Every structure is written in C-alpha cells, then in structure tokens.
Homo-oligomer: A and B are copies of this chain.
Amino acid sequence: MRHNYLSNTPLNEARPLFLKAAEEAGFTAQTELIPTGCAAGRITANAVYAAISAPHYNASAMDGIAVKAADTFGASENAPALLKKDSYVTVDTGDPLPEGTDAVIMIEDVREQADESVKILSAVAPWQNVRQVGEDLCMGDMIAPAGTRITPALAGAFLAGGVQRIPVKKRPVFGIIPTGDEIVPPTAEPKRGEIIEFNSTIFSAMLAEWGAESRIFDIVKDDKALIADAVEKAAATCDAIMVLAGSSAGRDDYTAAICAALGQVLLHGVSVKPGKPVVLGIAMDKPLIGLPGYPVSAMVIMEEFVKPLCDLYYRRSSAESENVEATLTKKVTSSLKYEEFVRVTLGTVGDTCYAVPLPRGAGVITSVTKAGGILRVPQNLEGYEAGEKVEVRLLRPKKEIENTLVITGSHDPLIDEIADIVNRSSLGFTVISSHVGSMGALRAVSAGQAHMGACHLLDEATGEYNTSYVYKYFPNGGATLKKGVGRVQGLMVQKGNPLGIGAIGDLTRCRYVNRQRGAGTRVLFDYLLKQNGLAPTDINGYGNEKFTHTAVAATVAAGNADAGMGILSAARIYGLDFIPLYHEEYDFLVSDAYTDDPKVKAFFGILESADFRRRLEDMGGYSVNERN
C-alpha cells in the first residue's frame, strides 16, 4: 500500500488539539538573564525592581550655587541677601549637593561680588532646584511587572535603577529540517531536477517576526533513518521541530511515521487549502510540525499553527489581524471540502478597495509576494461572486493599500519599470498591476475597478489599434485613450532558428505556445492566422496558454515549444531569435474620473521621463514617437 489517507480535520478543531498537547508537553517560555543593553524588544519574565534609587544622591537640578535654604529666607530683588564665600558652593547640573546644603539657586539669580561673596535676589525653599534621592525611582519600586515588552525607555529605566541584567522570556528555538532528494541549498545555477531550498529562509524570517529563533539543519535526503536522526538531534537541542516536506502520505513521506515512533501523531491532514497535508504531533516531548513542501501550503500552516504556537509559548493573546473590506473583481469558487486561503491583490480605486484573486497554485510563491491580502473562504461556502464585498486580511500596511495606482490589462514589463521609478521617486503611492489581458483593461476601467488600463487591441477591420474598442466599450465616453509606446511583436524561436521559421505559415509544422484568451497578443495572433488562411486547429499547441511575454519566451527557451508570439525584450532576455511581424500600439486607457488624479498624472510624467526612455531603449523593441 503506497498511500495512506489523510484526515480532513477543520482548523478550529485541529489547532486547539495541537496547542493543548504542546502545552502539556511543557512548551512554554523559560527565563534567561540578559544584559539590559540588549533587552529592548524582549519580554520580561519576572517583575523587575529598582536595585538603587534614581537619582541615588541629592543632585543639583541646574547650574548655580548650593546653599542652606534657611540662609536665603527673606531675600528678594529689593532686599538681596549676601552669602559669604564659605556659605555656598558653585554646582553644575547633576553635581551632588555638598554636605550642609539643601537647595540650589540658579546661576541667573546670583550676582558675584569682588570678595567672592555672592548677592542673591530671591529666597529658595529647602530642596528647591534639587533632584532629591528617588525623584525618578526608589530602590525597591517595581519598574515593570512580568510580561512587559521592554521599550527603549524601559531599558533606560532598568539601567537607571541599577539593574544590569534582566530576566526575559527565552526565545523558543525551532529546529528546521529541510528534506528531499531533489532539494539543494540556494544557488544561481541549479541543475535540472534540483529544487532550490528557500522554505527555511521564509520560515525562519516568519519565526523571527513572531519572536522565535530558528536553527536550520542541513538538507536531509529522503531516507527515513536519516530524517529520524535529524529529528532526534533537533528535539534534543531545540524547543520545537519543523520537518519541511514529506508531510503527506506518499512513498517518500516519512514525517508521520517518524513522529509516531518518537512520540505521537496528533493529526495528519487538515481541511485547509492550500496546506492540507500537514503532520502535527509531539516527538520527544517537543511539538513537531510536518510541513508540506510547497511554499504557499507551508506558509498557511505556519500562520495557522506555528504562529499560535509562538503565542502560546509567550502566553500572549494573538495579535488581531488587520482586515479590510474589499470588493471582489472575479468570482472565487471553493470546495466544500476545504477552508481555502486565496491570495488577492488589493488596490483602492475611488472609495473602493478591489480584490483581484491571484493564481492559487501551492507552488506559486509569487502569488504571496504580489498579494496585498488573504481572502479566507470558510469550508461551508462554495465561494464568492464577483462584485461581492469580502473581508480580506491585510499583508501590507493599510496606508499602502489606500495609496495605489491600479493599472489593469495587458502585460508589458514597462509597467514594472514604471512601478520601480514611482517607488524610487518617493511619490507616496505604489503601482498595482494585474495582468488580465487587453480586453480585461477595457472591462476593469469600465467597471471602475482600475484607474487605468493598458491595451494593444488590433481592429481586424481597420488595422487600427485600440480606438474602435474604446468606442465600443465606452459609447457614451467615460474613458480616454492616451498614447503609450509602439512596440514590435514577433515570433520567438530557438536561437539559430533551427526550424527555419520565417512567417505565420511556418507555425503549422512546429509546436506553438500561445497567450491566454483576451490578451492583445492573442488577438493579434488570431488576426494573423486568419490573414494567412489558417485556423486554430492548424496550430499544434494553440491551447497551451501563458500569461506573460516572458512565460512564452521561457517555454520556448525550455524546449517546451518551438515558437511563440511576443515582444522583442522577452526574446532578448532568453537569448531567442526574433522574427518581427507587426508594429503595434500599446496604449493606456484612463477613466475620466481619474485623469486629474495626481497618481495618474505622475504616471504619464514618468512615461515622458529620460529615465524611463533609457530603460525602454535598454529593453529594446519599443518606440516612443507616437506620444500625443
């Protein structure tokens, strides 16, 4: 039997089960004494009391002369008092009050006389202008109770109270064990079949954010004995163990068996997606989490189990997640079998925050890095409709989400370059772009879901770009087409063009890779096919769809296809030959509601900038002479 079955336990059952077992296994903060100088940010484990008073002596609170207050009684501007040389002492701020004195007169009120006596213009009360012992802190006072986050000021107060070492909650140490025959440490030149191990980097950074440390072990091959050995080592030296990959029930999945042998498997499989194949257990009295190998699945498990585990350790209530109400631009379907976590981009247009669902593949780490938030679809829901208002957990600061220029539509790397220039210019906003094809640009702008769109749509009837589409989509106006750039579309083929592809007709004898429906490049390709008297069925690979120019180029470069249509810059990056076919116009459609928006204006300012033009030149295949 190669496959066991996983359980499908809901989060709200699985989590308490795991946390209770961890607590019973003694997973809670120990105390360590650390130098006060490095205690900021840590949590006190015990109450901290002042060991000395602050000030610990009577100190002059200003520059002046220390006196016996009684000697000054009655002095005033009209009746100054004279103090002889031996009845006062000159002091600076912080100086100890000399024996026999009990007040300080500030230097501005003192008139020095020739014989070293001084004239004073006002009386002082006992202890006036004196920082008496304990003014700030008295020995024995509790400076902070247990469980207090040590702020910079608190670290200072501890030192002022003579406390040089602070009992703090020891950070839990998570042993991270990456496993897998195909896994290699980060490299810029992985061999075929080698997968770069980056999960441990992600998880140790997440743990650091939650106040935990991590010890990353060497990568272990898919060998049960070796992995068991690593788990034992981790359990002996760490507070908790995370085994990366091998958490499912396949041939090479050993985590569950190892955990069972060293303790107890509490659960194998939870009803979340992504993240289902997880092992939760106790091994050698330490909590063990067997994480799925796919990064996005594993990050869900980190958030849903490991973060609460850290909260349990510190006995702190979990930080409330910051949420935002957003309107979905697209339907999200979900299985009733799972609670789903869907990454979405978030951008604010007008008063509405729009959420655009991102690819849901568990291996697509960029779906997390591009996301502005996470949409949770409860298990008992089949999903959400387009246009529905949903609650999204923020992954970025709310302020950033509120200050976005939302550009939807056709993919061109130049949008990323503009986003980079925007960030460098500290304009106070960021660019959010969704690659939904040129037709998507029209839809999004017309629906008010984007400030502007990017499109290159050829009118087959007239051979003109974009204008007729805009007329059709906006018969009563509402959006304005602004000239963007000219660019050359062509066929990307293997270096040296081994198949001798020279024109559309040649594509019938090779494997093609296409763009997705709605993409301007797809519209152009369909037009060229028709012009050449060809049908989609004549093209092998017509149904193999990619979403970006670089994805097409990568597919050709990898040998998965012989030709694909795209822009010169993509072909260049991959060292592909390029057969130019068509000069097209890549333009911007701006909603009339936002033509005066400072973000939109800044965008077009950048489009005209020398920096941007230089970048276009470097990428190649663009022309900018058609600006209006």
Contact = CB atoms under 8 A, between A and B. Distances in A.
Interface of A: 2-3, 36-37, 40-41, 46-47, 51-59, 61, 63, 92-96, 102, 107-108, 125-127, 131-148, 151-157, 159-160, 162-164, 180, 182, 186-190, 192-193, 195-196, 198-199, 201-203, 205-206, 208-209, 250-252, 293, 295, 299, 315-317, 320, 361, 363-366, 368-369, 395, 399, 413, 416-417, 419-420, 422-424, 426, 428, 431, 541, 543-544, 548, 550-551, 553-555, 557-558, 560, 570, 573-574
23 contacts: A51-B188, A53-B554, A53-B558, A55-B195, A57-B192, A61-B363, A132-B558, A133-B554, A133-B557, A134-B558, A136-B361, A141-B548, A142-B416, A144-B369, A145-B419, A146-B423, A151-B395, A156-B202, A159-B198, A159-B201, A160-B198, A162-B190, A163-B188
B420 A94 contact: no
Nearest to A222: B92
Contacts of A133: 554-555, 557-558, 560
B164 A186 contact: yes
A157 B365 contact: yes
A554 B196 contact: no
B320 A146 contact: no
A366 B139 CA distance: 13
Nearest to A107: B2
A573 B3 CA distance: 68
B369 A151 contact: yes
A574 B49 CA distance: 13
Given A140-B570, A145-B431, A316-B426, 7 more contacts: A40-B208, A63-B250, A133-B560, A134-B550, A135-B364, A139-B550, A140-B553
Contacts of A55: 195, 363
A143 B132 CA distance: 60
Contact of A548 (B36, B138, B196): B138
B94 A366 contact: no
A36 to B, nearest CB: 7
A139 B573 contact: yes
B202 A155 contact: yes
B555 A132 contact: yes
Nearest to A150: B205
Contacts of A56: 190, 192
Contacts of A295: 153, 156, 160
A321 to B, nearest CB: 12
A589 B452 CA distance: 63
Contacts of A47: 416-417, 420
A2 B93 CA distance: 14
Contact of A58 (B52, B102, B187, B560): B560
A403 B92 CA distance: 45
Contacts of A164: 186-188
Nearest to A45: B424
Contacts of A209: 152
Given A63-B250, A366-B143, A560 B201 contact: no
B201 A96 contact: no
A573 B138 CA distance: 10
A142 B365 contact: no
A146 B420 CA distance: 5
A154 B367 CA distance: 10
A300 to B, nearest CB: 12
A179 B525 CA distance: 74
Contacts of A554: 53, 133-134, 138-139
A134 B63 contact: no
Contacts of A41: 205, 208
B127 A544 contact: yes
Contacts of A199: 156
Contacts of A142: 413, 416-417, 419-420
A187 B160 CA distance: 9
B364 A136 contact: yes
A363 B176 CA distance: 47
